[in-house]
Structure 1
Amino acid sequence: MIFINAPIAIGKTSLAKLLSKDLGTHAFLEVPEKIPLLNDFYSDGKISRELKSFAVQIEFLDYRYEQLMQGVFLAQEGENNTVYDSSLISDATMSKNLYNRGEFPEILYKDYLRLNNVMQRNVSGHPFMGPDLIVYLEAPFEQMLENINKRGRKMETTDSKLVEYYKSVWNIYRDWYQSYGQTPVLKIDVGGIDFVNNVEERDAILNKIEEELVELGKLTQSEFEQIKAERAEKFNDPVSETA
């Protein structure tokens, strides 16, 4: 399993789609519409976050756990290197940020952590040791705000009620990266990079992740070489003028 971890709007879903297509594996993506309370969570700044934090995180917990169960089943069937654009690890990070901000009551936060930890240790009767690799994406805060504006979700705005909250999210993920050490983490700086539309930048990131998978024994060198050889056709890349 490959988890992609990053603050809001840094490119998790875009990379998950590209990476899973390159590897030929399933992508488990976050669909905001499947979290009914998310709009209410954002609706009135600090007040709505205080009122909805526990309920929203429980909705995410249920959603992520179902995806994790599907991934464990696929691994048992022989499909490795499934890709997740978020995870229970990411959700715990977001919850910690809310707690640090005084927007997640302590008793409810402890209840949430207990549930999160139990679910991560045991997935539908199968011990779970965590992902094989976490890809951590880092970019400047200004790029995060720009991307939030570009994707234009109604619940996400960059008015004064939310910008300070977004900055705390950006900071908590940097703190997470500095302190996390339970499973392998690959940091990729995507500041100023357009890996969705720029083929060279896309290939550089995919190669970096897949080289790490080779190092971890999750891909063979020959599998990696075959993936690279088939990539241009798989993504329908334009033929190079120098080819």
Structure 2
Amino acid sequence: MTETRPDFIVVEGPIGVGKTTLARRLARSFGSELLLEGADENPFLERFYKKPREAALPTQLFFLFQRARQMQELRQTDMFRPVRVSDFLIEKDRLFAELTLEDDEFDLYEQVYNNMTMDAPQPDLVIYLQAPVEVLLNRISKRGHDYERNISAAYLQRLNDSYTRFFHQYTDAPLLIVNAADLDFVNSSQDYEMLLERAKAVRSGRHFFNPQPFNL
């Protein structure tokens, strides 16, 4: 990490929490390369949300191949270029696989995963956004993606729980855990600037950002 900023920032969190929005703003602030997961490119995703059991494995494998390719491209670029910002951590792919696949499918998936992610670069900072299920559902509804209209509260709760367990044990990079329930990175410059300054200050270890809403 440099004196004022990390070189590779990852924003993570469950569906609808605002990670892509924040990643875009961080990339603009740093004038950096932006690496986004391409959920819209996955031809199995809408089918998965309609019939999870039938489409879980191809959905997950598509994402794994996509993310591994993106990480490999990132690793091959000039590491002396400005900051890079991503809205996904490669390890999240395994988290989703554990949540959606049957045991025999997961065994197959894990063999592929272990051979494709060994050279993924480690981030200098991970920003983990948290929010309760009702907030996630509201944000998903507002953005209006067709393939997300069948996402259930039960699925989001399981996903939230999986993220909590994952980051409780995460030690591979400095971690900033953010309560994003009352933060608006689209319309509030104050919310964003507070988080930006907090992120710049993280050098190592685990940190928490839990701003309280103002009561008028």
Equivalent residue number for residue 94 of structure 1: 96
Q: Which of residues 54, 76, 86 in structure 2 aligns to 1:84?
A: 86
Report if the CA contact (8 A) 1:195-1:202 is conserved: yes
Indicate whether 1:22 and 2:18 are aligned. no
| Identity across the alignment (%) | 26
Superposed CA RMSD in Å reads 1.8
- Structure 1 residue aligned with 2:180: 190
Is the CA contact (8 Å cut-off) linking 1:2 and 1:83 kept in structure 2? yes
Residue 106 (structure 1) aligned to one of 103, 106, 117: 103
1:129 Cα offset (Å): 5.2
**Residue 120 of structure 1 contacts residue 130 of structure 1 at CA under 8 Å; is this kept in 2?**
no
- CA distance in structure 1 between the aligned counterparts of 2:71 and 2:23, rounded to whole angstroms: 15
Q: Structure 1 residue 121 and structure 2 residue 147: aligned?
A: no
Aligned residues: 197
CA distance in 1, matches of 2:93, 2:163: 11
State the Cα deviation string for residues 138-187 of structure 1 (Å, max 9, x = none). Answer: 112211111011111112226xx722112111211111121222322211
Per-residue deviation, 1:64: 0.7
Bigger fraction of residues in helix: 1
Q: State the shift of 1:198 in Å.
A: 0.7
Shift in alpha-carbon separation, 1:129–1:31, aligned structure 2, 3 A: closer
Per the alignment, residue 193 of structure 2 pairs with 203
Take 1:24 and 1:62, find their aligned partners in 2: how far apart are those partners?
28
Task: Provide the secondary structure at the position in 2 that maps to 1:121.
Answer: coil
Measure, in 1, the Cα distance between the counterparts of 2:125 and 2:68.
18
> Larger Rg: 1 or 2?
1
Q: Counterpart of 2:152 in 1: which secondary structure?
A: helix
TM-score (structure 2 length as normaliser): 0.84
Unaligned runs of 5+ in 2: 1-7, 205-216
2:126 paired residue number: 134
Determine whether 1:155 maps to 2:181: no
Query: Structure 1 stretches (4+) deviating beyond 3 angstroms?
Result: none
